[in-house]
């Protein structure tokens, strides 16, 4: 087991109250595994990744839980110790390739900085490695493009550069926070393909954060569905798409337009909106939007139940003798 | 880039023509007749007329301007009504003092202003931030002559650490090569003179720096606060580099453009002469001298000084624009590279 997140809670202390952006979530990632976290905006998926990296900015803070990376709790480490791990053993690529690179430094300066921070090698070797990484991620004539500034590149190119930078120190875990969201569909496919290839090549684990179920079905081994800071469902990718359990997951899958759907029906929509984090519904946080909402759902918070590796947080199901029964 | 610089310098010509027309008209419309001031209150009407005739003040105003501008093109700005010395010589005997003062002041202002601004932004809403911004508030609101007097009373009067006025001990004055005492004393190898000149500079430069420092500190703070929110700062942190490097290499470099702009504007106005500071510290610079010449209706000197200040201002701004291109690779001035 490479990363084990245990009962992580992340809070934002605001003037109007405390928002629990990540509420008691636990999951693990093995070496070489691609785990996807899906959820809509505000579900806490990005905050989860920033919590792991120790990059939360005030007023956010990890309020509890453990983040064990190779059996060391990242949450207990000082910023100095974390700096040794960030960009080295765990690295990250972000959603906005257009703004995530520093506009005033050359591509090579930015990648070499990462390499030379963590590896004890000469400038010349760092440059050679930079060019090699740019080549690996599919940048044509990498030696020349290394001298470019970010504004001389397209969004897809910049995301490749970000990926090259993130992979430059052979990380064991790559956190990809919506790596394809800002890109065209064709470029999306290329970047996903690249992540896949890199995983194979370096046996690196990937925590893929996305709101795009298409991306999940294509890339992930295992999926966690998050809603309002909680894990509502977790399963391997096949069973999630074949047999979604939680009404939220069902809703998400139903609201994807199908290209071969010839009926004239309106596309399904989950009713309502994500609740205000300062004003959550009592009981299950999805209760006010759920088609199958029962009395009990508005009073008690359901627990995450697990059967055969498929976990779900819903009163519709009851774990009994190794099988998940619909009530 | 070179083409751009040449173009900008050529654009100085219309600016100078405009400025010269305005100052020329203002002096002749709003200033009292210089003749009685030069000749004294008991001068006869005949001698006043003769003086006006001799100095071309009886010509039609367009002819006066034409004579002035043709002279100016050949480098002849006329002579002072009072000292009879050429205006250029008058100006250049005082301008180095102003440059020396302005450069040291802007250096102090930039170093401390940026330092305070960066600390305030990084430690936003902390005690450092509040103290820094309080200091900046004092800096922009405190009258400079009052600050100057306080500095003199304390450092010169009470502590006897630093001289209160002048540029240098007259006995130590170095042979004039450049007119900059710090440079001249180094050229002549006279370290006592260098030290003395430097000590004379400290108080007026500090007083003068206070306001600019406050402006620079506030601009740095707001610019850095914005830059620190950018996505690439998060990327830099995700690389595992130290926070000092994140701020110095990634944030400050990006935040420098508005800061450099403000520094340029401040330097431009400081080079125009700091009348109050020069008066309080008896600093023989261009500012106080110009004011005296305005009051005495010394037309040629005032015209010459204003043209010089306009030129300096334009050049400083050009310098700022050139620095932009070095700071931010996205800024390009020549068409070819776009």
Lowest mean pLDDT, pick from A136-140, A172-176, B108-112, B224-228: A136-140
- Give domain status of residue A308, yes or no: no
B119: nearest Cα among B131, B107, B109: B131
B143-158 average pLDDT score: 90
Lowest mean pLDDT, pick from A311-325, B134-148, B220-234: A311-325
- Give domain status of residue A163, yes or no: yes
A184 and A275 within one domain: yes
- What is the percentage of chain B residues whose pLDDT exceeds 70? 99
Pick the last residue of a domain from A120, A136, A168. A168
A148 and A71 within one domain: no
pLDDT of residue B337: 45
Residue A84 has pLDDT above 50, yes or no: yes
State pLDDT tens for residues B42-70: 888 888 888 888 888 888 888 889 988 88
**What is the complex's ipTM, to 2 decimals?**
0.85
pLDDT of residue A265: 81
Band (pLDDT 50/70/90 cuts) for residue B336 is low
Find chain B residues with C-beta within 8 A of A101's C-beta.
Answer: 232, 235
- Give domain status of residue A134, yes or no: yes
A111 touches chain B (CB under 8 A): no
Residue B338 has pLDDT above 60, yes or no: no
A195 and A122 within one domain: no
- Give domain status of residue A20, yes or no: yes
A202 and A81 within one domain: yes
Find chain A residues with C-beta within 8 A of B236's C-beta.
Answer: 102
Q: How far apart are CA A72 and CA A173, in angstroms?
A: 14
Residue A35 DSSP SS3: strand
Question: How distant, in Å, are the alpha carbons of A167, A173, B170, B238 from that of A203?
Answer: 12, 9, 78, 21
Average pLDDT for chain B: 88
pLDDT of residue A27: 93
Query: Are B240 and A92 an interchain contact pair (Cβ–Cβ within 8 Å)?
Result: no
Find chain B residues with C-beta within 8 A of A52's C-beta.
Answer: none
A153 touches chain B (CB under 8 A): no
Strands A205-210 and A173-177: parallel
Candidates A104, A153, A161: best to mutate against B (most CBs of B within 10 A) is: A104
A161: containing domain? 101-168
A116 and A175 within one domain: no
Residue A261 has pLDDT above 80, yes or no: no
A254 and A227 within one domain: yes
pLDDT of residue A319: 62
Of the candidates A53, A88, A100, which has its C-beta nearest B231's C-beta? A100
Band (pLDDT 50/70/90 cuts) for residue B131 is very high
Size of interface A-B (CB pairs under 8 A): 71
- Give domain status of residue A298, yes or no: no
Lowest mean pLDDT, pick from A261-270, B61-70, B210-219: A261-270
Q: How far apart are CA A112 and CA A125, in angstroms?
A: 9
- Give domain status of residue A209, yes or no: yes
Identify the CATH number of the domain in which residue A55 sits: 3.40.50.300
Query: Are A94 and B328 an interchain contact pair (Cβ–Cβ within 8 Å)?
Result: no
A178 and A210 within one domain: yes
Residue B334 has pLDDT above 70, yes or no: no
A83 touches chain B (CB under 8 A): yes
A262-284 average pLDDT score: 84
Query: Are A53 and B238 an interchain contact pair (Cβ–Cβ within 8 Å)?
Result: yes
pLDDT of residue B250: 92
A264 and A179 within one domain: yes
How many structural domains compose chain A?
A: 2
- Give domain status of residue A221, yes or no: yes
**Helices of type H across A168-273:** 185-202, 213-219, 237-242, 247-254
Q: Report the residue count for chain B.
A: 338
A141 and A8 within one domain: no
Domains observed in chain B: 2-73 (no CATH), 87-295 (1.10.3720.10)
Q: How far apart are CA B114 and CA A242, in angstroms?
A: 59
Find chain A residues with C-beta within 8 A of B326's C-beta.
Answer: none
Residue B253 to chain A, least CA–CA distance (Å): 8
Band (pLDDT 50/70/90 cuts) for residue A308 is confident
pLDDT of residue B335: 58
Residue B8 has pLDDT above 60, yes or no: yes
A268 and A239 within one domain: yes
């Amino acid at each position: 087991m490479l990363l084990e997140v245990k009962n992580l809670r992340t809070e934002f202390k605001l003037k109007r109250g405390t928002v629990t952006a990540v509420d008691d979530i636990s999951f693990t990632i093995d070496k070489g595994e691609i785990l996807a976290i899906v959820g809509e905006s505000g579900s806490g998926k990005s905050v989860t990744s920033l919590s792991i990296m120790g990059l939360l900015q005030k007023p956010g803070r990890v309020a509890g839980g453990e983040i064990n990376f190779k059996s060391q709790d990242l949450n207990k480490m000082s910023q100095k110790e974390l700096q040794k791990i960030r960009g080295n053993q765990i690295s990250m690529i972000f959603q906005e390739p257009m703004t995530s690179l520093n506009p005033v430094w050359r591509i090579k300066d930015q990648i070499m900085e990462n390499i030379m921070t963590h590896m004890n090698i000469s400038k010349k070797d760092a440059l050679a490695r930079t060019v090699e990484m740019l080549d690996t991620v599919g940048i044509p004539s990498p030696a020349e493009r290394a001298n470019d500034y970010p504004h001389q590149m397209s969004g897809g190119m910049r995301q490749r550069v970000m990926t090259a930078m993130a992979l430059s120190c052979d990380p064991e875990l790559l956190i990809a926070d919506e790596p394809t969201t800002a890109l065209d569909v064709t470029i999306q496919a290329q970047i996903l393909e690249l992540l896949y290839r890199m995983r194979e090549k370096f046996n690196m684990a990937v925590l893929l954060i996305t709101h795009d179920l298409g991306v999940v079905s294509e890339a992930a081994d295992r999926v966690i569905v998050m809603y309002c800071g909680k894990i509502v469902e977790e399963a391997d990718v096949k069973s999630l798409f074949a047999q979604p359990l939680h009404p939220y997951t069902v809703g998400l899958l139903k609201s994807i337009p199908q290209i071969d759907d010839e009926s004239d029906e309106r596309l399904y929509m989950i009713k309502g909106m994500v609740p205000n984090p300062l004003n959550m519904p009592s009981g299950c946080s999805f209760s006010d939007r759920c088609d199958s909402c029962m009395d009990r759902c508005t009073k008690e918070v359901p627990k995450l139940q697990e059967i055969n590796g498929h976990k779900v947080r819903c009163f519709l199901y009851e774990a009994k003798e190794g099988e998940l029964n619909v009530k | 880039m070179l083409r751009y610089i040449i173009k900008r310098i050529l654009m100085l010509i219309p600016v100078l023509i405009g400025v010269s027309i305005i100052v020329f008209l203002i002096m002749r419309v709003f200033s009292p007749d210089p003749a009685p001031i030069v000749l004294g209150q008991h001068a006869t009407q005949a001698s006043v007329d003769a003086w006006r005739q001799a100095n071309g003040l009886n010509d039609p105003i367009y002819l006066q301007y034409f004579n002035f501008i043709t002279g100016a093109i050949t480098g002849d700005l006329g002579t002072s009504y009072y000292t009879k010395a050429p205006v250029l010589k008058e100006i250049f005997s005082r301008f180095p003092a102003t440059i020396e003062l302005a450069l040291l002041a802007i250096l102090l202002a930039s170093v401390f202003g940026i330092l305070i601004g960066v600390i305030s932004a990084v430690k936003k809403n902390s005690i450092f931030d509040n103290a820094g911004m309080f200091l900046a508030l004092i800096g922009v609101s405190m009258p400079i002559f009052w600050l100057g007097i306080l500095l003199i009373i304390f450092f010169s009067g009470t502590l006897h650490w630093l001289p209160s006025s002048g540029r240098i001990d007259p006995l130590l004055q170095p042979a004039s090569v450049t007119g900059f005492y710090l440079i001249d004393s180094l050229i002549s190898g006279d370290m006592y003179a260098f030290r003395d000149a430097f000590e004379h500079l400290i108080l007026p430069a500090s007083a003068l720096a206070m306001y600019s420092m406050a402006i620079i500190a506030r601009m740095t703070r707001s610019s850095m606060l914005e830059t620190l929110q950018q996505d690439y700062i998060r990327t830099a942190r995700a690389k595992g580099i130290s926070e000092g490097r994140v701020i110095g290499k990634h944030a400050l470099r990006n935040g420098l453009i508005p800061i450099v702009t403000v520094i340029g504007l401040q330097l431009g106005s400081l080079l125009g002469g700091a009348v109050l500071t020069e008066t309080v510290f008896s600093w023989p610079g261009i500012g106080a001298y110009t004011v005296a010449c305005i009051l005495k209706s010394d037309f040629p000197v005032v015209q010459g000084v204003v043209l010089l200040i306009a030129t300096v201002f334009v050049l400083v701004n050009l310098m700022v624009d050139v620095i932009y291109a070095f700071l931010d690779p996205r800024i390009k001035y020549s068409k070819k590279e776009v």
